[in-house]
Amino acid sequence: MAGTPAGPPDEPIPLAQRLIDNPFLLLIAGLIVMFVIYTGWGLWEILTLPPATLP
């Protein structure tokens, strides 16, 4: 299991493979999606909640 060959040496590596091979790019993408869609949006929902009025 010495790695998955990238193909013949003279063949350019496809863009999608280059993106997926970059762990830091994936890390940034994962952080952005979670922190925007779940955490950021969730905080905004809570902080903009109008105060409940007593009956």
Q: Is 15 in the site for other proteins (CB under 8 A)?
A: no
Q: Does 37 bind other proteins (CB under 8 A)?
A: yes
Among 10, 12, 15, 21, binds other proteins (CB under 8 A): 21
Q: How far apart are CA 14 and CA 16, in angstroms?
A: 6
- Total chain residues near other proteins (CB under 8 A): 29
3-class SS of residue 1: coil
The number of residues making up the chain comes to: 55
In one letter, which amino acid is 28?
I
Binding interface with other proteins (CB under 8 A): 1-7, 17, 20-21, 23-24, 26-27, 29-31, 33-35, 37-39, 41-43, 45-46, 49
